[in-house]
Every structure is written in structure tokens, then in C-alpha cells.
Structure 1
Amino acid sequence: MDDKGLIFTIDAALALIPIFIVLTTIASLGDDYLTFSSQQIRISHDAQDTLETMATYKQGTDSICVLQNITETLMINKNNATGRTLAGTIASKYLNSTIRDAKYNLTEIKQLNTTIASNANMASANNTAVGVRNFGDYTFRLYIWN
């Protein structure tokens, strides 16, 4: 090998060192943003799981699930204030017994665009998880936070 080839090879190898340093620095900075605590992951699953159980869980001796009971109550009362209150009572009873350690806000976003049941003010929520479930002509959105 001649002297020119050796110099170009050493020059290229030395030029790669700053590139590796920059890439390593960038990779180490991004780790904090990609990791989630187990609590954050759990609460994000709880919102959707709760809505799914509301769509399948049958209360007591009734042969209808919780969301069906809520939607039928709203339809029978033509989405009026009485229907929303009764639906909120049904939802609160189930949610209070199911997610005891978290705050929640259940809203209907397709027909009513209003809160049906809530046990806290969402303005103070820091880490909010959301689940969405359609049932009949209604779309429910459940927010859960600590």
C-alpha cells in the first residue's frame, strides 16, 4: 500500500469518530421520552378494557349489558335530561364498582356530545387515558386518570 492510501484511510477513520459521538449522544437523549412507567401503561389499557366490559358484562339478572342499558335508557327518553340522568346513574354504579382507584369521565360524543357520568373534574387531570366504544347509534368515550 502506498502512503497516499494509508493517509486517506486514517483520515476517513478519524472523521467517523465525531459522527459516532453525535449519534451516541442523540440516542441517549431519546431514551427518557420513549419509556413509560408501568402505571401509565396500565391506565391506558384500563380505559379501553372498561368500555369493552361495559359492552359485554350483564348486570344482575338482566340479559342486557351495561352499554345496552345506557343506550336504551337514552333512546326511550329521547336523549332528554331525564334520560341522561338515568343513564349517568347506570354508568356511575358500574364504574364506581369497577375502577375504584381512578377518576373517570364518561361522555357520549355522537348524539349528545356531553358527559354522562363523572366522579371528578378533568381540568385537574395530568395523565389521562382514553377508550372509545360504539354501541348502537351512540359513541362513548371514557377518560380515566389518577
Structure 2
Amino acid sequence: MLIDVMTEDRRWRALDLNALADRAAEATLTHLGLNADDFEISLLACNDTRIAVLNEDFRGRPQPTNVLSWPSVERGADRPGGVPDLPRPGPDAELGDIAIAYETCAAEAEAGGKPLSDHTTHLIVHAVLHLLGYDHIRDEDATLMETCEVAILGKLGIPDPYRP
């Protein structure tokens, strides 16, 4: 199994998060030329209260957020807009951990007029890209990451989340 999902908030079960997360992660890895069967990711499906604690512990921000990710290895590119060093099967098989919060995701989906499944898929694709070294702090990196997200989501039949 590519993604090991630990569900703390039962509301995620209605979305069939296990299948959705596997599909999103597999599409992301495949888009980058990686074999999804060679890698593992842990996903915590939680609520806003839990993710707020994690956000404060790891980022010093005591409020909920939609998704957090913790890569097992730093793979980011040194050059702005550069492609990160992608992992290889073997010791790098564990890509890292992701946490996703139900209330924030549901509220964002509703505010954006998007199905919760589409928004959640986007956030998982986004988080997996973070595990692989992609980032959006520098403008060039954000452009690269968003371009990847849009392409991956397009292959999954999900519209561009950045288009108004």
C-alpha cells in the first residue's frame, strides 16, 4: 500500500479517504516518473483541533490549517525553480508523513464551490509534492509546484484549482 491512513476523525470515512489518497499519491509519483509501488507515505486524517496542535508544535502557528507535511529527507532544489532531487527505491522508500484536517478542508471546498473529494485530492497532491522537495516559498518554486499540481489534477479529471 502506498499510503497508510490513520483516521482520527470519522467524517473522513464518508469520502473513502484511503482510496482517494492512494489515487492522488500514485498520480503524483507517476507524473514524476516514479513507481508508486516503491514508496510509502503515512497520512493522519484528523480534525482542526489536532492539526492546530501539530501546526503550533512544528511551525509555531497555533491555528488550524488544511494540510501539513513532514518529508523524511530534505530534497529541495538549491536553485529557485529547480526540480528537487527525486527519491530512489530503497532507503528512501518512506517519503514522510502528512496530516489533513477535516473542518478546514470542508470549509475551503464549500467556499470555493468545489467537491470535497476534489479539494482533498488537490491537498494530498500538494502535500506529496512537499514530501518530494517541492515548495512554494520562492516565486519560481511556486510556479513549478503549481504547474505540477495542475497537470496531475488534470490527469485525474479535476479542474485547475488556481483558476478563479
Same fold (TM over 0.5): no
Structure number with greater CO (CA < 8 Å, separation at least 6) is 2
**TM-score class normalised by the smaller sequence:** under 0.3
Structure having the higher helix fraction is: 1
Question: Highest CA radius of gyration, 1 or 2?
Answer: 1
TM-score norm. by structure 2 comes to 0.23
TM-score, length basis structure 1: 0.25
